[in-house]
Amino acid sequence: MLVVHHLNDSRSQRVLWLLEELGLPYEIRHYQRDAATRLAPPELQAVHPLGKSPVLTDDGRTIIESGAIVDYLVRRHGGGRLQPAAESPLYDEYQQWLHYAEGSAMLPLLLKLYVSRLGDAGAPLWPRIESEIANHLGYVDRSLQGRDWLLGAEFSAADVQMSFVGEVAGARGGRDRFPNLQAWVQRFQQRPAYQRALQRGGPYAYGR
């Protein structure tokens, strides 16, 4: 049985969404952030030593990292759905988005969150952080020009993996300056599977 170890207001929400898109049966084990620190509870370390979410368990296997989990679910359980054929030129673009989401795009958004806690001490870093956010969000926005989805006309797991970038940008990155990105987020948030995942996952601060 697929089990998602789900932390509120986290990347694990997109794993629930992917499972709903694929129509797979799964269980959720819920964990709540500490109200003061916003960190995951220590109970998650019993699942994986890093104590981070998402974690997926599947009949004895434990998989961490959103991109790896997305890839695992699509390859092992997707039956060829939500990814291009491996021999297709689009497959390489698909893989690029899976890695880009956490490898590059999330970094300046996370830096903005952490540096904001430094007050005036963080002021020298703001121009560079804002420049990098604009650089990455601009890249995604241009990639979506004339497209409904990241790979074109067809929705894929790349959209799921990149969704957290788009949602966090709405809270911290000035997403409204990037109309294609804004429309893409609004589009995927209207999908029935996305809405079902919200109902199962519970309150989610970025689902707007």
User: For domain 2-82+193-201, which architecture applies?
Assistant: 3-Layer(aba) Sandwich (3.40)
* Residue carrying the six token digits 């988005």: 97
Q: At what angle do helices 106-115 and 126-143 cross, to 10 degrees?
A: 150
Q: CATH topology for 89-191?
A: Glutathione S-transferase Yfyf (Class Pi); Chain A, domain 2 (1.20.1050)
Domain positions in the chain: 2-82+193-201, 89-191
Tens-place pLDDT, residues 29-72? 999 898 888 888 899 999 999 999 999 999 999 999 999 999 99
Tens-place pLDDT, residues 112-166? 988 988 888 888 999 999 999 999 999 999 999 999 999 999 999 999 999 999 9
Residues 109/169, Cβ–Cβ less than 8 Å: yes
* Distance of alpha carbon 148 from alpha carbon 1, whole angstroms: 33
The pTM (predicted TM-score) of the whole model is 0.95
Residue 101 has pLDDT above 90, yes or no: yes
Q: What is the pLDDT of residue 145?
A: 98
Written as one letter, the residue type at 135 is: N
Which are the contacts of 115, defined by CB distance < 8 A and separation ≥ 6?
122, 125, 126, 129
| Start-end of H helices in the chain | 12-22, 66-72, 89-100, 106-115, 126-143, 157-172, 179-189, 192-201
Using omega within 30 degrees of 0 as the cis cutoff, is the peptide bond preceding 54 cis? yes
